[in-house]
Amino acid sequence: MNSVVTSKPILSSELPPDATDVPDWLERALSVPREEGWVQSGGCDIRYFRWGDPKNPGLVLMHGFLAHSRCFAFIAPFLAEDYHVVAFDLSGMGDSGVREEYPDAVRSSEVVDVARTAGLFDHAVKPIVIAHSYGGHVALTAMQDNHALFGGLIICDLMVLRPERLKSHFSSEKPLRSDTSRPNRVYPDYETAKGRFVLSPPQPVAVPSLFDYMAYHSLKEVEGGWTWKFDTSVFQSNFGHSERMLKQGQIIAETKGRKAIVYGQDSVLFDDDSADYVRECGATDMPIVGIPGARHHLMLDQPIAFVSVLRTILAQWGTQAV
In degrees to the nearest 10, what's the CA dihedral of 293, 299, 300, 305? 40
- What stretch of H or E contains 156? strand 152-156
Q: Is the dihedral of CA 288, 143, 148, 150 positive or negative?
A: negative
pLDDT band with cut points at 50, 70 and 90 for residue 169 = confident
Say how far apart CA 61 and CA 52 lie, in whole Å: 13
Band of residue 6 on the pLDDT scale cut at 50, 70, 90: very low
Q: What's the average model confidence in pLDDT over 59-81?
A: 97
The pLDDT tens digits of the residues spanning 250-259 come to 999 999 999 9
Rounded distance between C-alpha atoms, residue 152 and residue 281, angstroms: 19
198-217 mean pLDDT: 93
Q: Global pTM?
A: 0.93
Question: What percent of the chain has pLDDT above 90?
Answer: 80
Please report the pLDDT score of residue 238 as a whole number: 60
**pLDDT higher than threshold 60 for residue 2:** no
Distance between CA atoms of 111 and 129, rounded to whole angstroms? 9
Contacts of 80 (CB under 8 A, 6+ apart): 32, 51, 52, 53
- Residue ranges of domains in the chain, CATH in brackets: 34-182+234-317 (3.40.50.1820)
For Cα atoms 162, 281, 241, give the angle at the middle one, nearest 5 degrees. 50
Query: What SS3 class is residue 7?
Result: strand
CA-nearest of 319, 320, 298 to 309 is 298
Q: How many CA atoms lie within 13 A of 299 on its CB side?
A: 28
pLDDT number for residue 20: 85
Nearest to 111 by CA among 82, 77, 145: 145
pLDDT given for residue 17 in this prediction = 87
3-class DSSP state of 60:
strand
As a whole number of angstroms, the distance between CA 297 and CA 133 comes to: 9
Of 139-148, 175-184, 266-275, 302-311, which gets the smallest average pLDDT? 175-184
